[in-house]
């Protein structure tokens, strides 16, 4: 589990196909090498991935993960190339501060940026969610965009808006998207369970 509070921006060093729709990605980060172990979970732009290798290169720590066909199909991972910047978050530990909201690291689909307004101290962004996910997004509710926990401001049909504060623009990749770009979307886990309970009671 994660909280949607990004702790590092990683950089893709290499992407290598490994057959059967599997890709191995090598990702540079600023985490200490000794703090990462094989089998650990790291959210990579919102996608929970398992560490399968660790090392150092040119004074930087790197870790490797494998992305299967389903991940490549429903997330942005299939578009990542050498130099792509991604948000990173280590898995939540018991006793850690829950600064954002409960994030599973299981991307539900892609959100498309349809409007962006850069203000003096923040950015207002309007996103379009896939139709089947729109019902899980509510004003003042939570979403994770590329792994970043955000509060929803307004909702209209399948679109929703968020305000990105200066700190978030600085320490995540959310300042990068332009109108027309798509990024990873995870809807609020509690909203999904609530909807399921309502369906079961009817």
Q: Given 104, 106, 138, 182, which residue is catalytic?
A: 106
3-state secondary structure 59-114: CEEEEEEEECHHHHHHCCHHHCCCCCEEEEEECCCCCCCCCCCCECCCCCEEEEEE
Q: If you average pLDDT over residues 135-152, what whole number do you get?
A: 96
Q: Given 28, 43, 44, 48, which residue is catalytic?
A: 48
Q: Given 14, 30, 35, 68, which residue is catalytic?
A: 68
Q: Is the pLDDT of residue 24 over 80?
A: yes
The question of whether 48 is a catalytic residue gets the answer yes
Q: Spell 78-88 as b/e; 16+ CB within 10 A means b.
A: eebeeebebbb
pLDDT of res. 19: 81
Q: Considering only residues 188 and 192, tell me which one the structure prediction assigns the higher pLDDT.
A: 188
Q: If you average pLDDT over residues 168-178, what whole number do you get?
A: 96
Tell me if the pTM is above 0.85.
yes
Domains of the chain: 8-90 (2.40.30.20), 109-201 (2.40.30.20)
The question of whether 149 is a catalytic residue gets the answer no
Q: Are 51 and 63 in contact (CB under 8 A)?
A: yes
Q: Given 14, 50, 69, 195, which residue is catalytic?
A: 50
The question of whether 136 is a catalytic residue gets the answer no
Which two tokens mark 124? 């207002």
The question of whether 201 is a catalytic residue gets the answer no
pLDDT of res. 201: 62
The question of whether 68 is a catalytic residue gets the answer yes
Q: Edge-to-edge strand order for the sheet containing 155-156?
A: 148-151, 142-145, 182-187, 109-118, 123-128, 159-164, 155-156
Which two tokens mark 53? 């290798």
């Amino acid at each position: 589990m994660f909280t949607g509070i990004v702790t590092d921006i990683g950089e893709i060093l290499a992407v290598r196909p490994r057959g059967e729709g599997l890709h191995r990605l090598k990702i540079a980060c600023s985490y200490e090498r000794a703090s990462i172990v094989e089998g650990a979970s790291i959210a990579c732009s919102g996608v929970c991935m398992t560490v399968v290798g660790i090392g150092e290169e040119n004074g930087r720590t790197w870790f490797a993960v494998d992305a299967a066909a389903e991940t490549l199909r429903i997330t942005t991972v299939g578009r990542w190339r050498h130099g792509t910047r991604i948000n990173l978050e280590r898995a939540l530990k018991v006793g850690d501060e829950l600064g954002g909201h409960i994030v599973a690291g299981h991307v539900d689909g892609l959100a498309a940026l349809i409007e962006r307004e850069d203000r003096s101290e923040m950015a207002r962004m309007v996103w379009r969610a896939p139709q089947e996910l729109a019902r899980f997004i509510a004003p003042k509710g939570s979403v994770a965009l590329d792994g970043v926990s955000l509060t929803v401001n307004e909702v209209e049909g399948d679109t929703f808006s968020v305000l990105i504060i200066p700190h978030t623009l600085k320490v995540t990749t959310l300042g990068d998207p332009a109108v027309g770009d798509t990024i990873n979307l995870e809807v609020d886990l509690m909203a999904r369970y609530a909807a399921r309970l309502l369906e079961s009671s009817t």
